[in-house]
Amino acid sequence: MKARILYGVIIGLFAVLQGCSSPAKNEASTAAPPTGGAPTDEIEKYRAMIADGNPADLYEAAGEDIWKKPMGPKNVSLEKCDLGMGPGVVKGAYTQLPKYFKDTNKVQDLESRLVTCMEKLQGYNSQEIIKAGFEKGKRKDVEAVVAYVVAESKGMKINTVAKHPKEKEMYDLGKKSFFYQGGPMDFSCASCHSENGKRIRLQDLPNITEQKGAALGWGYWPAYRVSSGNFWTMQRRLNDCYRQQRFPEPIYISDDTIAVSLYMAINAKGGTMNAPGLKR
Amino acid sequence: MKNKLSLLALALTLSIGAAHAATPFEKMMYSSFEAKGQAGLDRLDQDAAQKFCSNQANLTGGGDAKLREKIQNDNMATIKQPSDGKYIGDWKSGEKIAQSGRGATWSDKAGSENGGSCYNCHQINIKEVSYGNIGPSLWNYGKLRGYSKEVVQYTWNRINNAKAYNVCSNMPRFGHFKLLNEKQMQDVMALLLDPESPVNK
């Protein structure tokens, strides 16, 4: 009930904002993804309603500025950062991540790759970024750049593959981790995300072991999160999954988080990248 | 000399730590997490049931049937019956426990009372519309099954340790891992099995 009132308030707020900023774009609200259960229809309606007023826009704009601005001990921008399609190529770069990078000899997701660039190009200390919490210190900059880079792949097809031996190895490790039960509740990712049509309370759970469900999971994150009022990267989403699994905390951009991301992305291949999305 | 060398080798193995840092997968797991709040790294250590059910084939009923049975029997043997002999507590308190999904995460205060998270996965009182469907509906639980000693005991055991009946059940082992205390489990029992509980109306 409380949540519904909150949605009401926020819908109202965005209706006002939209009226001011983009009065001509209201017909774009038909692009809502299909939904399963009736109780979640309300969320879909709400999502469609503010589809062209996603607050993630603000993070995207900030991220583009950060990408282009000379910063750090070496006072250079990130414009030479190679996200896998050559230095500086942002358009479509997110559709093929995570992937193997020769210079680091590692499979990297977007966030770990950005941290590499901030260290190698700009001279920042990567450990400081890894140790900072979400929305803190330079991590905050990483999050904004994530919004910018991801948005540059919006509407494109997910095309992450396991070609390099290290990608194949990482996919298998990610799959194993997905099914790994632990903690006082015996949960694994699969406890909630390996069957069709399942819900926790009213929240639909995508079946990530199948292409359709994986595309729903991978394709709509990172996202602006209405319930917490901020932008969540995939690393942050995974962090909260593990918290609810009652696991210890995953270290930011650790191998396990990248392996599970690769497992999801490859399963989602062929789906559409809709992120930055808008989530409950 | 040989002895000294083997001692050195042993010392090295021990200092690398952990019998678990053996395979690439285990190395990845134990280096990718850190303890936070009450959630220590030991939560990555698996017991026999967790190990068995981390294999996708076993989740869907495959795998070694004898091992499956053995793990179930071992779990059954750990179940304690209520110390005061009472199985049925207060259904009103049981409803509150069923509603609460709190507890045992790294952001929950250590030692604070856990909820049962029951509605996360089950329909129970049909007046509650926000329920999950990972587990079966428990609406009219007692009314449909009766209130016999067998039903009561089975329900108590299942809440305590669902893996005693189905090793890869998705249901947490509330008694086994002390997620709920004895009184809380008696109260949840009442929600399901007190004829006065709204669940049985």
Read off the DSSP letter of residue B105: S
A131 touches chain B (CB under 8 A): no
A181 touches chain B (CB under 8 A): yes
Least confident span in A6-20, A110-124, B13-27, B149-163: A6-20
The whole-angstrom separation of Cα B128 and Cα A255 is 41
Out of A20, A81, A192, A241, pick the active-site residue: A241
Q: Give the 3-state secondary structure of residue A143.
A: helix
pLDDT at residue B102 tops 50: yes
pLDDT at residue B89 tops 90: yes
The whole-angstrom separation of Cα B20 and Cα A204 is 35
Indicate the residue type of B17: G
The whole-angstrom separation of Cα A208 and Cα A194 is 6
pLDDT at residue A48 tops 60: yes
Looking at the partner chain, which of A173, A182, A183 has a beta carbon nearest the beta carbon of B24?
Answer: A173
Looking at the partner chain, which of A190, A244, A247 has a beta carbon nearest the beta carbon of B43?
Answer: A247
The whole-angstrom separation of Cα B133 and Cα B57 is 22
DSSP run (H or E) holding A108: strand A106-108
Tens-digit pLDDT profile for residues B64-75? 999 999 999 999
A117 catalytic? Reply is no
Predicted local confidence at residue A212, as pLDDT = 98
The whole-angstrom separation of Cα B114 and Cα A25 is 47
Average pLDDT over residues A170-178: 98
Higher-pLDDT residue of B184, A229 = B184
Predicted local confidence at residue A279, as pLDDT = 86
pLDDT at residue A27 tops 70: no
Nearest residue in chain B measured CA to CA from A200: B132
The whole-angstrom separation of Cα B198 and Cα B92 is 9
> Is B33 within 8 Å of A249 when comparing Cβ atoms?
yes
Tens-digit pLDDT profile for residues A64-123? 999 999 999 999 999 999 999 999 999 999 999 999 999 999 999 999 999 999 999 999
Nearest residue in chain A measured CA to CA from B136: A198
Average pLDDT over residues B137-144: 98
CA A151 from chain center: how many Å?
Answer: 11
B177 touches chain A (CB under 8 A): yes
> Is B46 within 8 Å of A182 when comparing Cβ atoms?
yes
Integer CA distances (angstroms), A97 to A10, A100, A143, B57, in order: 33, 9, 16, 29
Q: Give the 3-state secondary structure of residue B103.
A: coil
Q: Give B60's pLDDT tier (boundaries 50, 70, 90).
A: confident
The whole-angstrom separation of Cα B34 and Cα A73 is 30
For the four alpha carbons of B144, B129, A30 and A237, in that order, the dihedral sign comes to: negative
Read off the DSSP letter of residue B111: T
Looking at the partner chain, which of A173, A201, A244 has a beta carbon nearest the beta carbon of B130?
Answer: A201
Predicted local confidence at residue B61, as pLDDT = 87
> Is A173 within 8 Å of B28 when comparing Cβ atoms?
yes
Predicted local confidence at residue A43, as pLDDT = 63
Predicted local confidence at residue B29, as pLDDT = 98
CB B34 within 8 A of CB A257: no
Tens-digit pLDDT profile for residues A228-254? 899 999 999 999 999 999 999 999 999
Write a three-state SS string for B137-200: CCCCHHHHHCCCHHHHHHHHHHHHCHHHCCCCCCCCCCCCCCCCCHHHHHHHHHHHHCCCCHHH
The whole-angstrom separation of Cα A111 and Cα A114 is 5
| 3-state helix vs strand vs coil in chain B, percent to 5 | 50, 0, 50
The whole-angstrom separation of Cα A202 and Cα B120 is 8
> Is A256 within 8 Å of B104 when comparing Cβ atoms?
no
Our CA-based measurement puts residue A28 at a distance from the nearest CA of chain B, in whole angstroms, of 30
Higher-pLDDT residue of B101, A44 = B101
Interface confidence, given as ipTM, is: 0.90
> Is A182 within 8 Å of B44 when comparing Cβ atoms?
yes
pLDDT at residue B1 tops 80: no
> What residues contact residue B119 under an 8 Å CB cut-off, 6+ apart?
A201, B98, B99, B101, B128, B130, B131, B132
Predicted local confidence at residue A195, as pLDDT = 96
pLDDT at residue A1 tops 80: no
> Is B34 within 8 Å of A249 when comparing Cβ atoms?
yes
Whole-model pTM: value is 0.87
The whole-angstrom separation of Cα A280 and Cα A275 is 14
A246 touches chain B (CB under 8 A): yes
> What residues contact residue B110 under an 8 Å CB cut-off, 6+ apart?
B37, B38
Buried b (16+ CB within 10 A) or exposed e, B121-151: bbbbbeebeebbbbbeebbebbeebeeeeeb
> What residues contact residue B92 under an 8 Å CB cut-off, 6+ apart?
none
Nearest residue in chain B measured CA to CA from A209: B56
> Is B130 within 8 Å of A202 when comparing Cβ atoms?
yes
Predicted local confidence at residue A8, as pLDDT = 41
Least confident span in A7-11, B79-83, B94-98: A7-11
CB B20 within 8 A of CB B26: yes
Residues 185-204 of A with CB under 8 A from B: 185-188, 190-192, 194, 197-203
Tokens of A152: 């540059």
Predicted local confidence at residue B83, as pLDDT = 97
Q: Which long-range contacts (CB under 8 A, 24 or more apart) does B112-121 make?
A: B113/B181, B113/B184, B114/B179, B114/B180, B114/B184, B116/B174, B116/B179, B116/B180, B116/B184, B116/B188, B117/B172, B118/B188, B119/A201, B120/A200, B120/A201, B121/A200, B121/B170, B121/B171
Higher-pLDDT residue of B6, A54 = A54
Q: Give B86's pLDDT tier (boundaries 50, 70, 90).
A: very high
Let me know how long chain A is.
280
Q: Give A255's pLDDT tier (boundaries 50, 70, 90).
A: very high
Q: Which of A178, A246, A252, A280 to mutate to test the interface with B (most CBs of B within 10 A)?
A: A246
Average pLDDT over residues A195-209: 96
> Is A249 within 8 Å of B39 when comparing Cβ atoms?
yes
Predicted local confidence at residue A280, as pLDDT = 81
Mean pLDDT, chain A, integer: 87
Looking at the partner chain, which of A194, A201, A249 has a beta carbon nearest the beta carbon of B132?
Answer: A201
The whole-angstrom separation of Cα A263 and Cα A211 is 11
B137 touches chain A (CB under 8 A): no
